[in-house]
Structure 1
Amino acid sequence: MAAAPPDGQEKVIAAAQHIVKSLANSKNAADDMIRILSGFDNRFSHMTDLFPPANPNASSLPDSVPEGHDDDDRERPLGPGPDDDDLDEERDAAVEDAMRVVEQWDSPAAGDRLVFESSDDAEEYLAAAACLVGEAGPRVESALQVAMSRLEEEFRQLLIRGTVSLGAEDLQASLLRRLSLTVPAFSSASSVDLDCPSFANHGGDEGPDEPATPAGRWSSVSDGEISPYLISPDTVGTLKDIADVMLRAGYGPELCQVYGEVRRDTLMECLSVLGVDKMSLEEVQRVDWGVLDGKMKKWIQALKVVVQGLLAEERRICSQILALDADAEEECFTEAAKGCVLQLLNFGDAIAIGKRSSEKLFRILGMYEALAELLPELEALFSGEARDFIKEEAEGILVRLGDAVRGTIAEFANAIRGETSRKSLPGGEIHPLTRYVMNYVRLLADYSRWLNDLLDGCETELETGGDNADITPLGHCVLILITHLLDKIEDKSKLYDDEALQNIFLMNNLWYVVQKIKDSELKSLLGDNWIRKRRGQIRRYSTGYLRSSWTKVLACLRDDGLPQATGSSSALKAALKERFKSFNLTYEELYRTQTAWRVVDPQLREELKISIQEKVLPAYRSFVGRFRGQLEGRNFAKYIKYNPEDVENQVSDFFEGKRLNA
């Protein structure tokens, strides 16, 4: 038999007995109430000894019936007995004590003190409130309302005061401390202005930077990795105790309203800390691109933090605090989280339907990728109508972001075709348009997973030919953009009056295009055969340069048109003098101009120099060797100014981009 309870506790225990007895008709309610009361204070630790469980098959009953008892004793329900009058008196006393505790905290003497500033006061008040649940009478009902009102307000204060307040970096670090998160790397291509008629202003050595890793690539997150608590663990336990009593008393709606209000404001504040501010469509349209670019970047990062960190943690906390009622848990979480989610989605929608311009493409792609990858996890956080609503909204935004991607790529194609700069680059170097377009196009390959779906079925602008019969939608798009680029470069070559420099310019730019394709994922999109054909075109440009530059030089070294060498004929000498003078002038002009030209690729530059030497040196060496005897004398050096070795050495200066005075 259980030991008698200590003195001074009879009234409280009597109240507990009454609660259990009044709940005896419910299979589980008595056990639940015992658990609640025993959690408040160790004074109720005897509860399981004093009262048999509501479930007659509970494991606390002995396997066999003690001598002197029949089997029916196990199943006898709690009901009136010889000591009922005593129990009623004890119950009434306990209820009276409970009302006294509630009224004491509602009196002016309590001041502004909070019950839950003291763990002892909190235990006493919760036990008193629990004791009043289910009791009848105007005074009891009034006391219960007062108790619920106080618990509601103290629940609110605990939610507010127990929330961890962090700055942006600390918030991300704390929420994702144990997440193996790959922070998206963003290309500066998305922040370069393409919304203008000329690309010439966007020159630089390399154009848009290359990303270290594709933007928006997330690593997987396994259960239990998110840390730490958004609410301290001790506070979560106290909030759960309050929630249990309020839910038992039928005050679930009031509880959910408080939870939803406080946590909604907290999550919205976290969203603001992460850099995602509430903006209307009009504000998004008006903001400068430099500012909007930063906000889009923060949105992509924040979506990861919110879905896998902030909301996942909120869901866990909510399930702990409201474990007693699954419906209340769903309602509270939905009310807390929906404002945060809708603000994220609304910004994404504003971007999707906003003005299209080329510089936005990679940010829009990053937003599309992040939302598409995180949508299943976002959906899983909600249930019922809320889940259906979030899913429908997010999928609609994905559709509109996809439309924006396609429209922005079309805008980029138009920007290439509409580029109108008329300034030629000195030395025939790589045009800024070429650098920009190729780095832009190269970045598209990082999103091949999404772009192949988004571009599938788009109308084609050109025939790909048999060599690209199996080309992907993205490959076809890239081919269109590069074709537009090469057409434009061909037009720009006409800005040079010198045909040789036209060939150098075309050679440099096509080499850059091929190199960017060969060294990236673009190679798999366009194929080896496309690259081979363009290399053949580079060789043709090289041949065209040699022909247009050195034909006149070689013409000076041919025997055609010279008088027959008959002794020291004055006619021959005069003709040779003119030939050597023409050679010197033509060669010196080439040296002066073409040492200022630049062939970008070192290997291509050396190949061109070798080609010049192979064409010119043998002819010059032979011509000098055969006719120098005709010009020996006092003015010999005036006509044969260069030895073959001099020419050979000077050819090494060609195409180095040197700026020499005439």
Structure 2
Amino acid sequence: MQEITGEQHVFAAARHIMKALGATKNLSEDLRKILKDLDSHLSTMTTVTEGKGGGLIEIEQRLKYAERKVLSWELNQSMIWDSGPREASEFLGAVNEVETLTKSLRGSSMNANRKQKEIFNRAESILQMAMSRLEEELIHILVQHKQYLEPECMSFRSYGEDVVYDESFVSLDDQSVEDASHRNSSGNHSEVYIVDLVHPHIIPDVNAIANAMFASNYGHEFCLAFIGVRKDALDEYLVVLEMEKLSIEDVMKMEWISFNNEIRKWVQAVKIIIKVYLSSEKEFCDKILGNFSSVNLYCFVEISKASMLCLLNFGEAISMGPIRPEKLFRLLDMYEVLAELLLNVNELYSGETGSFIRNEFQKLLWRLGDTAKATFLEFQNAIASNESLCPFPKGGIHHLTRYVMNYVKTLTEYVDTLNVLLKDLDAADDSNLVIEPENGQNIPSIFCPMACHLRSITCTLESNLKKKGKLYKDYSLQHIFMMNNVHYMVQKVKGSKLRLFFGDEWIRKHIGKYQQHATSYERATWSSVLSLLRDDGNSSPISKATVKERCRGFSTAFEEVYKIQTQWSIPDLHLREDLRIANSLKVIHAYRTFIGRISAHISDKYIKYSVADLENFLLDFFEGSPKSLRNSCRR
């Protein structure tokens, strides 16, 4: 009897304290609710303690009322929350009543009689039934009210046209690289975009279910249901983004077009998933599970882990593939997007719970960086090893030259990334030290790691072109070929960001190179031909027969040059005109002088071509279409 009186004093004191707290004006709504629930719990405990008979009857009546409310929905096919807020509130009230009674009965079950134990077991059964129903309601609400964002509305960086490589270096043209160079950045790299993945109006309902289930020690069941629904929603969204679950073997077997398309989709999907979807999912988890911090991050990680690992496994497969130059731009895209998202991932997957995803993400970033670096270096090896068995037609711009210069031009769009990746390779070379631009401007320097490698690549290209030039039997055509290709290199550097990496000194040096090839061409082509027009220096009159022979010899030699060099090609209009003018100055001056010197000795009929004829003929040179003067006569 004394023990019971002591418990009654404790309950009375506790209720007095709660009453005093309840009178405080500055209490929040959440705290008032807690005090109300605690008062109800103490009331039940008092009833149990006092009631050897009447108290248990009151508890049983309260339990029956709550039981009727719970059981009424067991036979009802409709969903509680679809039936309106009143029904949902009444059901939650019944659940709260059962939960309160169960806890109170559990607290006194050690000394309970048979009747009290029966009521306790009955309350436990009703509570389990109610929790099962709340789990169904939770799943229904989350599924019915999920929302998807449209991928088209995301304005992230857009990547340019593809840079495609093959063994003959013929697939990268000037137009495609112009398109590929327009890569736009989307502002703050760590910025996230929060959207509603479920309709906002259901958040209070989900919170109410969470509070009821956690209060009844069914938090684990809530988490399993919550994780399952949200995980399925993320899987469905990956399908919307057209991301297939591919094995490493699947990726390895892909043709280049499919491979390239999958990487493009992956880059876009990773940005949307991390910057938008998972950031929004994390905020949703915070709203629902913020009061249960011990499980909040766990649920988020479990929701997203499988999908994140699927995305990371694709990147892993890419990094494991063979090293080929055509992959470099896609590898750099993948590396850049992971580097950009690293801070976001560290924030999303904080603490020990998220450490596995953080570590896997960081490992993939390192692997892609190593693979991109190896691919960059392999590109130079591929240039050096590219061999030709036959001379390039017409002495024009070789496919290798176009490919390499357009390739390195596109690389300038990745200068920051490549400087990071190539920095260690250049650290031992003092000539490659980076010099900071003046006035704090972030301008690419000719001394940065990437610039040193680009100049090395073009040096390798020049060496290869010299070998290809030697395949021509005609010495003049060797110089036309080298002039065309070095001129193309200079124009690519002068007309793009490459100028910042190569510098004016490189440009001046290579302008001198192609001009020297032009001079060497003139000498090789015209020295022997124009020697027929020179004055021997003898004071004695030249014989008519000698004059006729020289006229015939010059005409024949010029016709041969004309036949051959009209087939040759100088694609650049200005370069072609410059060389035609140089030819004209050299040939026409010598021919006009010769005609003036011999006109008094022979008749015009022995002079096959006039000065005007030669001027017109020289305009046909380097058009790339063969012509002949063999059967022509004087115009």
Does the TM-score normalized on the shorter chain lie above 0.5?
A: yes
TM-score for both structures, normalised by structure 1:
0.80
Measured in 2, the distance between the counterparts of 1:627 and 1:22 equals 139
Give 1:56 shift. Answer: 5.4
Match of 1:292 in 2: 259
- CA 1:452–1:364 in 2, change beyond 3 Å: closer, same or farther? same
| Partner of residue 520 from structure 1, selected from 481, 496, 504 | 496
Match of 2:98 in 1: 132
* Letter paired with 2:71: E
* Letter paired with 2:565: Q
2:243 touches 2:266 (CA, 8 Å); kept in 1? yes
Match of 2:105 in 1: none
2:432 touches 2:448 (CA, 8 Å); kept in 1? no
647-656 vs 583-592, which moves further: 647-656
- 1:647 corresponds to 2:630: no
Match of 1:210 in 2: 178
* Letter paired with 1:608: L
Give 1:302 shift. Answer: 0.6
Match of 2:588 in 1: 617
Higher RCO structure, 1 or 2 (CA under 8 Å, sep 6+) = 1
Measured in 2, the distance between the counterparts of 1:467 and 1:558 equals 57
1:276 touches 1:299 (CA, 8 Å); kept in 2? yes
| Partner of residue 158 from structure 2, selected from 168, 181, 184 | 184
Match of 2:7 in 1: none
Q: Deviations over 1:381-440 (max 9, x none)?
A: 122113322222111111111110121122222211221232323321100011111111
* Letter paired with 2:266: W
Give 1:645 shift. Answer: 2.3
Measured in 2, the distance between the counterparts of 1:586 and 1:207 equals 41
| Partner of residue 218 from structure 2, selected from 251, 270, 279 | 251
Give 1:115 shift. Answer: 2.0
Match of 1:348 in 2: 315
1:187 touches 1:211 (CA, 8 Å); kept in 2? yes
* Letter paired with 2:496: S
Match of 2:136 in 1: 153
| Partner of residue 101 from structure 1, selected from 61, 64, 69 | 69
Measured in 2, the distance between the counterparts of 1:466 and 1:598 equals 42
* Letter paired with 1:157: H
Give 1:139 shift. Answer: 1.6
1:185 touches 1:211 (CA, 8 Å); kept in 2? no
- CA 1:287–1:205 in 2, change beyond 3 Å: closer, same or farther? closer
Give 1:465 shift. Answer: 10
- 1:193 corresponds to 2:165: yes
Measured in 2, the distance between the counterparts of 1:23 and 1:263 equals 46
Measured in 2, the distance between the counterparts of 1:55 and 1:552 equals 115
Measured in 2, the distance between the counterparts of 1:661 and 1:393 equals 70
Count of residues paired in the alignment: 575
1:563 touches 1:575 (CA, 8 Å); kept in 2? no
- CA 1:336–1:235 in 2, change beyond 3 Å: closer, same or farther? same
2:177 touches 2:410 (CA, 8 Å); kept in 1? no
Match of 1:601 in 2: 572
Measured in 1, the distance between the counterparts of 2:127 and 2:627 equals 97
Match of 1:545 in 2: 521
Measured in 2, the distance between the counterparts of 1:582 and 1:23 equals 131
2:193 touches 2:280 (CA, 8 Å); kept in 1? no
Q: Deviations over 1:158-183 (max 9, x none)?
A: 2223223x6xxx73135x3xxxx234
Provide the secondary structure at the position in 2 that maps to 1:407. helix
* Letter paired with 2:125: S
Match of 1:556 in 2: 532
TM-score for both structures, normalised by structure 2:
0.83
1:347-386 counterparts in 2 under 5 A?
347-386=314-353
Q: CA RMSD in A?
A: 3.3
Provide the secondary structure at the position in 2 that maps to 1:415. helix
Measured in 1, the distance between the counterparts of 2:592 and 2:508 equals 36
Give 1:323 shift. Answer: 3.5
1:114-125 counterparts in 2 under 5 A?
114-119=79-84, 120-125=86-91
Q: Give structure 1 stretches of 5+ with no counterpart.
A: 1-20, 31-51, 62-76, 566-570
- CA 1:353–1:22 in 2, change beyond 3 Å: closer, same or farther? farther
Q: Deviations over 1:254-296 (max 9, x none)?
A: 1111111221122122123212222222222222222111111
Match of 2:26 in 1: 59
Identity of aligned residues (%): 36
- CA 1:22–1:279 in 2, change beyond 3 Å: closer, same or farther? farther
Measured in 1, the distance between the counterparts of 2:242 and 2:387 equals 39
- CA 1:221–1:251 in 2, change beyond 3 Å: closer, same or farther? farther
Match of 2:561 in 1: 590
- CA 1:431–1:141 in 2, change beyond 3 Å: closer, same or farther? same
Measured in 1, the distance between the counterparts of 2:190 and 2:338 equals 19
1:442 touches 1:520 (CA, 8 Å); kept in 2? yes
1:308-327 counterparts in 2 under 5 A?
308-327=275-294
Q: Deviations over 1:177-207 (max 9, x none)?
A: xxxx234223321xx233x3x33xx257538
1:284 touches 1:350 (CA, 8 Å); kept in 2? yes
Measured in 2, the distance between the counterparts of 1:466 and 1:624 equals 62
Provide the secondary structure at the position in 2 that maps to 1:134. helix
Give 1:600 shift. Answer: 2.3
1:203 touches 1:433 (CA, 8 Å); kept in 2? no
Measured in 2, the distance between the counterparts of 1:273 and 1:160 equals 17
Measured in 2, the distance between the counterparts of 1:616 and 1:88 equals 125
Measured in 2, the distance between the counterparts of 1:285 and 1:22 equals 74
- CA 1:599–1:256 in 2, change beyond 3 Å: closer, same or farther? same
Give 1:306 shift. Answer: 0.5
Match of 2:239 in 1: 272
Give 1:216 shift. Answer: 7.6
Higher helix share: 2
Match of 1:568 in 2: none
Match of 1:113 in 2: 78
Match of 2:471 in 1: 495
2:99 touches 2:127 (CA, 8 Å); kept in 1? yes
Give 1:661 shift. Answer: 5.2
Give 1:595 shift. Answer: 2.5
Measured in 2, the distance between the counterparts of 1:138 and 1:223 equals 53
Give 1:212 shift. Answer: 4.7
Match of 1:233 in 2: 200
Match of 2:399 in 1: 432
* Letter paired with 2:450: L
Give 1:606 shift. Answer: 1.9
416-425 vs 256-265, which moves further: 416-425
- CA 1:55–1:123 in 2, change beyond 3 Å: closer, same or farther? closer
603-612 vs 456-465, which moves further: 456-465
1:185 touches 1:215 (CA, 8 Å); kept in 2? yes
Q: Deviations over 1:190-230 (max 9, x none)?
A: xx233x3x33xx25753853345555833337978543x22
* Letter paired with 1:173: E
Measured in 1, the distance between the counterparts of 2:432 and 2:269 equals 44
1:135 touches 1:141 (CA, 8 Å); kept in 2? no
